[in-house]
Amino acid sequence: MIAETRSQVSVNEATLYVAFELGKKGWKLAMTSGFGIAPVMRTVGSGEWAAVDRAIAYGRRRCGLPATAWVVSCYEAGRDGFWIHRALVTRGIANRVVDSSSIEVKRRARRTKTDRLDAVKLVLMLVRVCAGDARVWNEVRVPSVAEEAARHQSRERTALTQEQTRLKNQIRSWLATWGCAVPRRATGAWWATLRDWSGAPLLPAVQARLERAHARLALVAAQIAGLTAAQRDAAATAPATSPTHRLVQLKGLGATGAAIVIEEGLVWRSFRNRRQVGGLLGFAPTKYESGASSRDRGISRAGNTRLQAVMVQLAWGWLRWQPSSALAQWYHARFGHGKRTRKIGIVALARKLLIVLWRYVTTGVVPAGAVLRAA
């Protein structure tokens, strides 16, 4: 049974604010009851929830709070993921998962940094957030257990694809040192038929290494094929009103691209407007204006890198398969002149495309001029 929690807590009520600084062996808890109250520090073992409960009870007593006072906590998103958030929620604690890159830091050339100082700083920022200062940091939206598990399939396929590319490049590099290359029709034991620069067959040690690398490459290719088939089967059996089915109905979007877009949070993040959708992708301009000086420092790389990569690919595919759409016509009218402008414009198209796809999967409004596949 999940305990009742409240996402908003007034600073006027008796509340204990707790910040977790997570480590592999231990957690540091910084606790305070509000502005002007020096934080109390406790250290517990990683995952020792009985010790966490005792530390929170100690924090209530030290801060002069009743035993039933509300508890609000936070920690930085990292290697531990979201299981700690779910464990805190089951204990009736209103927890926030913080984006580490959004936390403000001093700009001194050298500053002191320890786990204790980080925990104290985090709990003081938590008090500010609960007091209504929403610009202190950015919070991470926590997916459900099923949504978090669903991301493993597409992320595994991406990792395997990168591994496949690495192995192919490695084999080509090995052969380049002997003055030969992979044959166009690499079937069977092709490494045994190769000749080096002098026409002599490759040495047995080199052939053995190529054979082992080829075996690894074949295994990776088989796993990629299995995951691709699973994604296609899931898209084919998806309900007609599901986001996945709607995306694959658009000409130019395949099951793999649709899976990545959906699993990275196009729907479960519950965006309220197009700016939040664009914020997930990034690709935003970085202006610099100070006094009389004003310049553009290019496009920011901040954002979901996996989503950025797939959206650029989908944007190029959109131009090919949806030439009559409003987005494709806008792109050609504004960026269709010159190779450099086309590469710059594809980033803007990727951002706009993600927004129209979000509207399509959430409201069912087909992008202007887009062509759907025949049923």
| The architecture CATH gives domain 15-130 | 2-Layer Sandwich (3.30)
Q: Give tens-digit pLDDT for 192-211.
A: 999 999 999 999 999 999 99
Contacts of 139 (CB under 8 A, 6+ apart): 96, 97, 98, 99
Lowest-confidence segment of 222-236, 273-287, 354-368 by average pLDDT: 273-287
CB-based contact 207:192 (threshold 8 Å)? yes
Q: Give tens-digit pLDDT for 109-133.
A: 777 888 899 999 999 999 999 998 8
What is the band of 303 on the pLDDT scale with cuts at 50, 70, 90?
confident
Q: Give tens-digit pLDDT for 26-77.
A: 999 999 998 988 999 999 999 999 999 999 999 999 999 999 999 999 999 9
Q: Residue 1 has what pLDDT?
A: 30
DSSP-derived letter for residue 101 is G
Sort 50 into a burial class: Cβ within 10 Å, 0-12 / 13-18 / 19+. Answer: exposed
